[in-house]
Amino acid sequence: MRDLTEAQVAAGHMVGIVCDSTTGGELEEHLFEQMKDMLALGIHRTPMQRHVGPGDLASARRTYRIIKELRPDVLHGHGAKGGAYARLFGSLLRVSRSRVARLYSPHGGSLHYDESTVTGKLFFALEHLMARFTDCLLFVSDYERRAYRRKVGVPPIPNMLAYNGLRAAEFEPVTTRADAADMLYIGMMRDLKGPDIFIDALAAAAPRLGRAPSAVMVGDGDDLPRYHAQVKRLGLEGNVRFLPPMPAREAFLLATLVIVPSRAEAMPYIVLEALAAARPVIATAVGGIPEIFGPDSPALIRSDPVELADKMSQALGDLAAYGKLMPDESSLKARFGADVMAAEIEKAYFAALGK
């Protein structure tokens, strides 16, 4: 969101952000503080719960009042809740105004539901209904576009693929510190992201390497105490260091090899950030990740601790050779630059306004 916002401001647009106030921590507060002076329409944070519930009524009223006062030409909703608000409130604004473009970017979320379950069927029926209030769908990966078509149906409205993008500064290589650990996990501390797989793989890799590999785990979340207990149970306390959230490029200084062991993803920024920083990566072949590496990349594995342990051992055995398996910088910039992302999204905005 920050990269897109900065690119849109640089292009001369007046931009504002409306988002949840109950999630995030010190890092997110710092990022918002850095951005606030550049946003002509400001930053507006209000409580929004992730799941559907009674609190949505009060949240919707607050959010609608904010948006009505801002009087935007374009409402671009991200994620299921943001997408619902952008499309419903954009439609309400059209009652009194002639022009409000309503765009929606799914980011995993409801698309991760199993379409055979009652909950999944409900969400996908709602997504199908919401299409009539949408001017354009913007997918961040072909995986999400295919998942939408399979679970919701072929969109009856304009839709396009606009990959997440990185700023030019993020393509500067990061060199690890002299005392760097072997491996880095950075992300939310919850099972969907695979920290437990990572920890089990560390234990399984020790016999292969002839030593216990060292690791840094950066992030926060409700399941963090369970991962502390898992590390202790496996006797890895002296080899695993837990740190609070920090900017990705700071975390890349701390370890040689970046591990992304997720069970499910859409188009994770951390993979793009690591590769752009010239860090070698091992990642699970889920969601849009294979679109970054290529489907046959030897850097991709299943969400399995034994397979991850094997790949860890292979990579640490010859890091120089493993690093050559990563996508080259020029191809990454051509597909995942922030300027490319912003230009594609801007086209969608003007096309929607033209309707």
pLDDT, averaged across the chain: 93
Beta-strand relationship, 74-78 and 43-46: unpaired
Sheet holding 101-105, edge to edge: 74-78, 101-105, 136-139, 159-161
Query: Within the chain, which residue ranges are assigned CATH 3.40.50.2000?
Result: 2-165+337-354, 169-335
All residues at 6 or more sequence positions from 266 whose CB lies less than 8 Å from its CB, including other chains: 106, 107, 108, 111, 140, 141, 143, 144, 287, 288
Which residue in 102, 106, 112 sits closest to 139, CA to CA? 106
What architecture does CATH give domain 169-335?
Answer: 3-Layer(aba) Sandwich (3.40)
pTM: 0.85
Reported as a single tens digit per residue, the pLDDT across 260-275 is 999 999 889 999 999 9
User: For the segment 165-203, what is each residue's pLDDT rounded down to a tens digit?
Assistant: 999 999 999 999 999 999 999 999 999 999 999 999 999
d(CA 211, CA 4): 43
pLDDT-derived band at 98 (thresholds 50, 70, 90) equals: confident
143, two tokens:
């995986």
Model pLDDT for residues 232-291, shown as the tens digit of each residue: 999 999 999 999 999 999 999 999 999 999 999 988 999 999 999 999 999 999 999 999
Model confidence at 96, in pLDDT bands (50, 70, 90)?
confident
What 8-state DSSP symbol labels residue 166?
B
Q: Which CATH class is domain 2-165+337-354?
A: alpha beta
Average pLDDT over residues 152-175: 94
Of the pLDDT bands very low, low, confident and very high (cuts 50, 70, 90), residue 50 is confident
